[in-house]
Amino acid sequence: MNIRSRREFLRLSSMLTAAGALPLLNAQQRAFAAEPDAPVRIGYLPITDATPLLVAHANKLFEAEGLQVDKPRLFRSWAQLAEAFLSGQVNVIHLLSPMTVWTRYGSQAKAKVVAWNHMSGSGLTVAPNINDVKDLGGKTVAIPFWYSIHNVVLQQLLSKNNLTPVSHDKPAANEVKLVVMAPSDMVPALANKTIAGYIVAEPFNALAEDLKVGKVLRFTGDVWKDHACCVVLMHERDLTERQDWTQKTVNAIVKAQAWIRDHRQETADLLSKDGTNKYTPHSKPTLSRVLVPEANFETQYESTGAIRHADWKTARIDFQPYPFASYTEELIRQLKNTHIEGNNAFLKDLDPAFVAGDLVDDRFVKNALAAVGGLKTFGLDDTFTRTEQVAA
């Protein structure tokens, strides 16, 4: 590793440590896995955000492209996953879309988004006695990371209801305390009343419903239509030094997403704790609630207010790989107006259009899409543009 890269790692780890997110990287972890023939090394959290990466592995789509691939490595928190990626332990990950902004511009790490991993697929889940966002005043809500679409959407909802996000203890009646919590810890915390709610990716919202410890107050895709939640992040050096390897990796991920759309139940089975690879600790019924919702899904949640824009026809979770520039631009604008603890000064100088072109490299996903029939395969027009719809 060169001196500049080493300094970047130390700077990143120091910021994460200051934020209480993860320990300093040790000497072994700081070593890049820079060998030219390195296999695909997937890092993931046991959530539906990881679905395309895991399906590509399970269905041997990487091997079909002529690549070697290691067994995917499971991590318990976003901080651990980011650390493993930046230290070179893994080279293909799904990461919260705002977290990639922080990774590239807050830490100056050389990484780029190459595709989206999924759309929507998250919700604000609350205790049974909470019936409106206003009821969260004076209470605590968990988020998976400060740099997350969940934090952005939650604060849009709080603002609409004249509630202020804070980090201090004993929030006032017009305040909501936000705490960062690993997704796997959220359901137990809600059950024991440590928190009044959480906003996170599936299947933890479905799990709270199955255990009858919480209910979905609002789906994030009903606030920001078809928003990206997790995106595929790769090292910039692989994009420049191993372009053929990168293209084949993205090909496999795009083919996995196309397969998922027509095999949702099989996908739930594959991801479950009873699946061959035991990718997640979740049951088939819980995963099916997300991936194969009941026919009356929209009507059911319209009646509770969890869906307020039925005309958007937003799925509980959906998959398409193209990283629309309009989303990245809107995300930067939203992040500038979102309360974020820790290192966030870099945000004020970011130009949305610049970030859309600099953070994202869509060359590989465009090639991969062309090979599977284009965006029409995913029910979209082949224009590679769209207009963002955000309405809390």
**For every residue of 33-46, which 3-state class applies, written as one string?**
CCCCCCCECEEECC
How many other CB atoms sit within 10 Å of the CB of residue 166?
Answer: 16
Tell me which residue has tokens 């996908």: 267
Identify the CATH class of 3-119+227-280+318-390: alpha beta
Q: Which of 126, 106, 302 is nearest to 214 (CA)?
A: 126
Q: What is the pTM of this model?
A: 0.91
List of the chain residues with pLDDT < 70: 1-35
∠ CA 80-245-385, nearest 5°, is: 80
Fold classification of 122-226+285-314 (topology level):
D-Maltodextrin-Binding Protein; domain 2 (3.40.190)
**pLDDT score of 294:** 86
pLDDT of residue 36: 80
What HEC string does the chain produce?
A: CCHHHHHHHHHHHHHHHHCCCCCCCCCCCCCCCCCCCCCECEEECCCHHHHHHHHHHHCCHHHHCCCCECCCEECCCHHHHHHHHHCCCCCEEEEEHHHHHHHHHHCCCCEEEEEECCEECEEEEECCCCCCHHHHCCCEEEECCCCCHHHHHHHHHHHHCCCEEECCCCCCCCEEEEEECCHHHHHHHHHCCCCCEEEEECCHHHHHHHHCCCEEEEEHHHCECCCECEEEEEEHHHHHHCHHHHHHHHHHHHHHHHHHHHCHHHHHHHHCCCCCCCCCCCCHHHHHHHHCCCCCHHHHHHHHCCCCCHHHCCCCEECCCCCCHHHHHHHHHHHHCCCCCCCCHHHHHCCHHHHHHHCECCHHHHHHHHHCCCHHHHCCCCCCCCCCCECC
User: What is the Cα–Cα distance from 312 to 292, expressed in whole angstroms?
Assistant: 18
Instruction: Please give the pLDDT value at position 290.
Output: 97
Would you state the pLDDT for residue 27?
33
**Comma-separated ranges of CATH 3.40.190.10 domains in the chain:** 3-119+227-280+318-390, 122-226+285-314
Tell how strand 175-180 and strand 230-235 pair up. unpaired
Side by side, the strands of the sheet bearing 42-44 are 73-74, 42-44, 92-96, 230-235, 111-116
